[in-house]
């Protein structure tokens, strides 16, 4: 029954398509709209389509490593088994039979990962987990979805580090609660209403950054991953970029930080002055020594 839904260009009803487009247009806003008491609209003021849907960002909180899922091969695994204490993990809560938003999200994430250089191939510096929040879905469906996206990614070696997980209702509730991911079943369209975000998790399981939406800047993904490890997985240039940029939640992207740029500029100016004065100082010392 899921065969046709695995195709990226899916035929949908007019109602389903409208709902998908609506959620796509507002996915970024939805993911930022429910971040606490200052979020804005109260529950009874939200559009019916968005009731019970959104993301409560839980930055700094840890996910439960003991939560059990099944990978695409049907093997039972714990979330902790994907963390080695050195490399971050990107978690994308999706559902594999989704006819719209989840495909757009996974397509956008895949495009961003493809645009990153080979040194940032999935598995070298980080892992990716696409986790289904529909407890009815099976490893067989996950395997088909994985095959689709590994081919789309074009780097088959990533298959060992990009996993598609399914779990029972207990597991789904645990991970979505940990991530602050809220969704609900829409009986009219027979689909899940949900927001969209890639969540960057640090090597120790701490939620480091949310990247909301369906389109991702490769540089933002790289900075977020480097940020999650305090600059330990990037090159010197990557670390320098991390220092110069800060995350702007209103724009949902990393932007140049004026203060850091000024500090860096000042440090470079001092360094250049030292390099310029050093030869003069050395010649002066030598002249004094020769005159003795």
Structure tokens at 118: 């080979």
pLDDT for 276: 66
Confidence of residue 266 (pLDDT cuts 50, 70, 90): low
pLDDT for 82: 98
pTM over 0.75: no
Confidence of residue 52 (pLDDT cuts 50, 70, 90): confident
Q: Cβ(216)–Cβ(254) under 8 Å? A: no
Angle, CA of 249, 114 and 119, to the nearest 5°: 95
pLDDT for 242: 45
Domains of the chain, by residue range, sit at 4-229
Confidence of residue 271 (pLDDT cuts 50, 70, 90): low
- Of residues 2 and 183, which shows the higher confidence score? 183
Summarize pLDDT for 218-242 with one digit per residue, the tens. 999 999 999 998 866 555 444 544 4
pLDDT for 236: 44
Q: Is 18 exposed, middle or buried (0-12, 13-18, 19+ CB in 10 A)?
A: middle
Q: Cβ(165)–Cβ(145) under 8 Å? A: no
The answer, yes or no, to whether residue 36 has pLDDT greater than 70, is: no
Instruction: Residue 210: name the closest of 42, 30, 51, 20 by CA.
Output: 30
State the average pLDDT for the chain.
78
The answer, yes or no, to whether residue 109 has pLDDT greater than 50, is: yes
Task: Summarize the confidence of residues 62-72 as an average pLDDT.
Answer: 98
Q: Is 102 exposed, middle or buried (0-12, 13-18, 19+ CB in 10 A)?
A: buried
Summarize pLDDT for 168-207 with one digit per residue, the tens. 999 999 999 999 999 999 988 899 999 999 999 999 999 9
**Residue 7 DSSP SS3:** coil
The answer, yes or no, to whether residue 286 has pLDDT greater than 90, is: no
Number of helices (H), then strands (E), belonging to the chain: the values are 7, 12
- Of residues 211 and 4, which shows the higher confidence score? 211
The pairing of strands 89-94 and 127-132 is parallel
pLDDT for 249: 65
Task: Summarize the confidence of residues 268-289 as an average pLDDT.
Answer: 66
At the topology level of CATH, where does 4-229 sit? Glutaredoxin (3.40.30)
pLDDT for 146: 98
pLDDT for 21: 36
């Amino acid at each position: 029954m899921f065969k046709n839904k695995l195709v990226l260009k899916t035929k949908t009803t007019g109602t389903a398509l409208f709902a998908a487009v609506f959620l796509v247009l507002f996915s970024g806003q939805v993911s930022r709209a429910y971040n606490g008491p200052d979020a804005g609209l109260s529950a009874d003021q939200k559009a019916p389509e968005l009731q019970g849907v959104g993301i409560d960002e839980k930055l700094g909180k840890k996910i439960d490593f003991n939560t059990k899922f099944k990978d695409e091969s049907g093997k039972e695994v714990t979330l902790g088994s994907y963390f080695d204490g050195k490399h971050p993990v990107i978690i994308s809560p999706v559902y594999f039979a989704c006819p719209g938003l989840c495909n757009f999200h996974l397509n956008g994430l895949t495009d961003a990962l493809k645009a990153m250089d080979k040194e940032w191939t999935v598995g070298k510096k980080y892992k990716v987990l696409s986790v289904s929040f529909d407890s009815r879905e099976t490893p067989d469906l996950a395997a088909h979805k994985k095959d689709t996206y590994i081919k789309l990614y074009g780097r088959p070696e990533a298959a060992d580090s990009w996993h598609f997980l399914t779990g029972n209702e207990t597991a789904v509730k645990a991970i979505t609660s940990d991530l602050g991911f809220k969704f609900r079943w829409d009986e009219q369209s027979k689909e899940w209403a949900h927001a969209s975000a890639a969540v960057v998790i640090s090597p120790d399981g701490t939620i480091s950054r949310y990247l909301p939406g369906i389109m991702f800047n490769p540089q933002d993904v790289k900075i977020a991953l480097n940020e999650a490890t305090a600059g330990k997985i990037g090159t010197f240039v990557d670390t320098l970029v991390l220092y110069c940029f800060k995350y702007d939640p209103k724009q949902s992207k990393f932007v140049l930080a004026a203060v850091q740029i000024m500090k860096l500029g000042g440090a470079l100016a001092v360094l250049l002055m030292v390099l310029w004065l050093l030869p003069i100082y050395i010649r002066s010392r030598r002249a004094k020594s020769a005159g003795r």
